Homo-oligomer: A and B are copies of this chain.
Amino acid sequence: MKTVDNLLKQPSAWLSVGANTGSIISSRVRLARNIDGRIFPGRAGEEESVRLWHDLQPVFEGLSALCPAVSLEMNDLTRVDKDVLFERHLMSSELAEKGPGSALVFKRDESVSIMVNEEDHLRMQAMSTGLNLFGLWKIINTVDSEIESHVNYAVSPQLGYLSACPTNVGTGMRASVMLHLPGLSLMNEIKPIIKGVSKIGLAVRGLWGEGTEASGDMFQISNQTTLGEKEEAIIKRLEQIVLEVDEHEKKARIRLMQKKENLLRDQIGRAYGVLSQAYLLNSRETLSMLSHLRLGIDLGLVVKWKQAMIDELFLLIQPGHLQKLEGKRIGAEKRDMVRARLMRKRLASVVSDK
C-alpha cells in the first residue's frame, strides 16, 4: 500500500535517528479503553466490530492530536504492510491477525496511533525518542479526553477503566521505555538487572514487546500494574528505574573500556567485518552486530558511521521493511541474502566515503 510505502521515507518515531546517544532509545505511553454498552472485541461479531469502527473513524480523523491522520483497515493491508507497521511499533502483531472492523489510525509522523478492535476497543499510544514519559502522558491524555468528549468509556467507579484483560483494568495505562544495553550484556550483568527490575513490579521485555526475547541488546522496561496507583506515580517510578539502569549501563561501558577493551574492539571489529562481507545474514545476528556497532559509535571507537545510519538499519533489516524495500514478498531464506546485500551496500558506501 502506497501509504505504508511512504513510511519508509521517514524515520520511525521510536528510533532515535541520532537524536540522542547512550542507552535510552525511546518512550511510549499507551491507554486501553472500551466503549460503554458495546461488546468487547473478543466476543463481538464482525458486524458489531465494523459498526464500531464506522462510528469512531470520523471522530479519530477529526482529532487535532492526530492531524494529519492516516486510517488503515486490517482487511486492506498485505502481510508485508502489516509487518512494516508492526516493526515501526505502530501496531501489535495481534491486530494484524484481526479481520473486518479492526483498524489503525495514526498521525502521519507516527508519534500518535490508535488501534481499533484489537484486544480492547481502543488502544491509543504516543511515542517519541529519548526519555519523555511525562510529555507523552500529556499528549495521550489529551487524545483520550478529546475522544471522551464524543463517546462514553466503560468505567467502574471502584476499579476505573474496564478492559478485556484484567491486567489493564484501572488506569489502562502501560508506559514503557526502550533501552539499548550492550555494555551490561557484554559484561554479563544483564540478568541481575532484569531480575532486580522485575522484583519491583516492572516488566522487562524484548525489542518487540510481550513474549519476545531481547535482540540487539534492546530491552523494554514497562509498568506491570495498572490498578490502585495514579498514572503520574507509575510514570515517576518507571522513569526513576530507567535512569538507574541507564546509570548501570554507563558504568558497565566504562568498565568495558578499562578492563575488556580488547573484547570490546573485537566485538565491534567482527560486527563490522561480518556485516560488510557476509552474503547471508539472519535478522537476529544482524541486530546483535548492529548493536555492537552502535556501541562502538557511542564510545567513539567507531567514527566512520553516524548513529542515525545504524538506527535506520535496525529497522530496515526487519522482514517487513526488507520486503518493502525490495517491492515484493520474499521468503525467509532469500531474505537473508537480501539483508546481507543491503548491509554490504550500506556499509561499503560509507567506507568509500572515507
Chain A residues with a Cβ under 8 A of chain B:
262-263, 265-266, 269-270, 272-280, 337, 340
- In the complex, are the beta carbons of A276 and B273 less than 8 A apart? yes
For the complex formed by this chain, how many copies does it contain in all?
2
- 21 pairs, CB–CB < 8 Å, chain A vs chain B: A262-B279, A262-B337, A263-B279, A263-B280, A265-B279, A266-B278, A266-B280, A266-B340, A269-B277, A269-B279, A270-B273, A270-B274, A270-B277, A272-B273, A272-B277, A273-B274, A273-B275, A273-B276, A273-B277, A273-B278, A274-B274
User: Which one, B262, B265, B273, contacts A273 given CB within 8 A?
Assistant: B273
Q: How far is the CA of A251 from the CA of B273 in the complex (A)?
A: 30
Q: How far is the CA of A157 from the CA of B219 in the complex (A)?
A: 78
Q: How far is the CA of A269 from the CA of B272 in the complex (A)?
A: 12
Closest to A262 in B: B279
Chain B: minimal CB distance from A220 (Å):
31
Q: How far is the CA of A273 from the CA of B266 in the complex (A)?
A: 12
* Chain A interface SS verdict (over half): helix
Chain B: minimal CB distance from A259 (Å):
13
Contacting residues, chain B, for A277 (C-beta < 8 A) = 269-270, 272-273
Contacting residues, chain B, for A262 (C-beta < 8 A) = 279-280, 337
Q: How far is the CA of A279 from the CA of B269 in the complex (A)?
A: 7
Chain B: minimal CB distance from A63 (Å):
49
* Chain B CB within 10 A, most for which of A270, A275, A337: A270
Closest to A344 in B: B269
Contacting residues, chain B, for A278 (C-beta < 8 A) = 266, 269-270, 273
Contacting residues, chain B, for A274 (C-beta < 8 A) = 270, 273-274
Q: How far is the CA of A280 from the CA of B267 in the complex (A)?
A: 9
Closest to A340 in B: B266
Q: How far is the CA of A337 from the CA of B269 in the complex (A)?
A: 13
Contacting residues, chain B, for A272 (C-beta < 8 A) = 273, 277
Q: How far is the CA of A152 from the CA of B340 in the complex (A)?
A: 67
Q: How far is the CA of A263 from the CA of B280 in the complex (A)?
A: 7
Chain B: minimal CB distance from A257 (Å):
13
Closest to A261 in B: B279
Q: How far is the CA of A241 from the CA of B285 in the complex (A)?
A: 41
Chain B: minimal CB distance from A330 (Å):
14
Q: How far is the CA of A265 from the CA of B337 in the complex (A)?
A: 11
Chain B: minimal CB distance from A282 (Å):
11
Chain B: minimal CB distance from A139 (Å):
43
User: Which one, B266, B280, B340, contacts A279 given CB within 8 A?
Assistant: B266
Closest to A337 in B: B262
Q: How far is the CA of A276 from the CA of B351 in the complex (A)?
A: 14
Q: How far is the CA of A347 from the CA of B275 in the complex (A)?
A: 17
Chain B: minimal CB distance from A83 (Å):
23
Q: How far is the CA of A274 from the CA of B292 in the complex (A)?
A: 14
Q: How far is the CA of A277 from the CA of B274 in the complex (A)?
A: 9
Chain B: minimal CB distance from A279 (Å):
4
Q: How far is the CA of A112 from the CA of B174 in the complex (A)?
A: 77
* Chain B CB within 10 A, most for which of A262, A277, A278: A277
Q: How far is the CA of A102 from the CA of B75 in the complex (A)?
A: 83
Q: Which 4 A-B pairs rank lowest in CB-CB distance, beginning with the nearest?
A: A273-B273, A273-B277, A269-B277, A266-B279
Q: How far is the CA of A138 from the CA of B10 in the complex (A)?
A: 75
